[in-house]
Chains A and B, each alone.
Chain A
Amino acid sequence: MSTGILSTNRPHLARQVRLEWDPVRERQVLLAPEGVLVLNQTGADILGLCDGERTVADIVEELRGQYNRVDSDEVHDFLARLVAKRWVELGDE
């Protein structure tokens, strides 16, 4: 499935959002204008790696070091949903 995300993109969080630890829910949360996303561990790990330096391929590779099974399509889909909201931006290929 095509998501518009390339393995060579270097994603980073948009200027308008913040990643915070929520001690009440004990989860990482992504805070945006008029939006909150409570992240599961995988989502938090992905966003933690979105530093504008690593490519999507690098991110998938690093996740494979942490998890038994990492579906590259799922990472692409997750990022595509956030790109559509303009919470994540794609750097140069």
Chain B
Amino acid sequence: MNRPFGMLAELTYKCPLHCPYCSNPLNLSDYHEELTTAEWQRVLIEARELGVLQLHLSGGEPLQRRDLVELVGDARDLGLYTNLITSAIGLSPRLAQELKDAGLDHVQISIQADEPALSDRIAGTRSYERKIAAYRLVKELGWPLTMNVVLHRHNLDRIGRILDLAEELEADRIELANTQYYGWAWRNRAALLPSRAQLDRAEEIVRAARRRLEGKMEIIYVIPDYYSKYPKPCMGGWGRQQLTVTPNGDVLPCPAAHTLNLPRATVREHSLAWIWEESPLFRRFRGTEWMPEPCRSCNRREVDFGGCRCQAFQLTGDAARTDPVCYLSPDHGIVEEAVQAANEGAESGEEDLVPRTYTARQT
């Protein structure tokens, strides 16, 4: 059995932003009983013993956890490479210095657009100026810096200027990832999914930027999978390389897998090793045995692993079907319809986006 390389630690789902493509669960009331510092410390030790080398500290907004500095220090002592994925809201110079001293390796800061007013509108709160200050702070402290941008219909045409901003801020990497349609983004899909013409223009700009910035800035660009011929190899295969731990200790093969009707696995009841190796949740879609046709006999079955289980469930109601993104899937028409609507339907405006709200009161 493969051992996991990376663990996404979703420390809390509390977040100051209201992004309309939020990937956190819709129902947050299940996650109020967050793991304690001691519980996370045990999880980190077990993760290292299981083979995890990279720790992605995320949320929600991980800076809202008061023990973040302590957890970073513990992770570094275990030899983990520590990566903070943040909105940067709350990253004061003092906290940044404390994280640096604790050994934090790498910082990824989101931004919603290159233009302040649009970025603030998408984030649902005034945040652009603070983010820019945080990018500068991260560089001043000598960290490698990644700019994270979720792309969609309302900022994709600005991709050139977004790249210019990343260059100006001396980002080492930029992740330009088109929205994936789960959770809140699913609710907003019609208003978020870009047109083919937008994607073609963006791709050309990215190609030119890659040539211009080679050796200076790494550019990761992810197209919306609705427009690909083959599905994405989600998480590098179910229970194969990565795992996610949610704020309340649930362990998932992929951050969206809480949507699937599968038995829970939690660090409050089992060791991480048992969950990875033995739990029905992690065994359910591991390998190729579970696959239906056309995946089962396909020579790409160990390239894309049948695509994304959560997407199959989202679109067909059955997580064990081929990801409908695949052009060979019998359900591919569902995806074609959505793509057709994005290209021929009435032009959807930014005002159609429903901002992320937090219905359950957060403590």
How many Å from the CB of B135 to the closest CB on chain A? 15
Q: Are B106 and A33 in contact (CB under 8 A)?
A: yes
User: Dominant SS at the B interface?
Assistant: mixed
User: B317 contacts the other chain (Cβ, under 8 Å)?
Assistant: no
Chain A residues whose CB sits within 8 angstroms of the CB of B50 once the complex forms: 24
- Contact yes or no, A36 B49, CB < 8 A: no
Whether a CB of chain B sits under 8 angstroms from the CB of A34 is: yes
Interface 1/0s, chain B 5-44, versus A by CB < 8 A?
1100000000000000000000000000000000000000
Instruction: Tell me, yes or no, whether B240 is within 8 Å of chain A by CB.
Output: no
* Cβ–Cβ contact A36 & B215, under 8 A: no
- Given known pairs A33-B105, A86-B172, the reply for A24 and B3 (CB within 8 Å) is yes
CB closest residue in chain B, given A32: B81
Partner of A33, one of B48, B49, B53, B146: B146
> Which chain A residue shows the least CB distance to B76?
A18
A33 to B108, CA, bound (A): 9
Q: How many residues of A contact B (CB 8 A)?
A: 17
Do A16 and B5 touch across chains, with their CB atoms under 8 A apart? no
A24 CB contact (under 8 Å) in B51, B108, B144: B51
Complex CA gap A46/B108 in Å reads: 30
A29 touches B83 (CB 8 A): no
Q: Which residue of B lies closest to A89 (CB)?
A: B215
Judged by a CB distance under 8 angstroms, whether B244 is at the interface is no
Given the known inter-chain contacts A16-B106, A18-B105, A20-B79, please indicate yes or no for A33 contacting B173, CB distance below 8 A: yes
- Using Cβ atoms and an 8 Å threshold, which residues of chain B touch A33? 83, 105-106, 108, 144, 146, 172-173
Residue ranges of B at the interface with A (Cβ–Cβ < 8 Å): 3, 5-6, 48-51, 53-54, 79, 81, 83, 105-106, 108, 142, 144, 146, 172-173, 215, 218
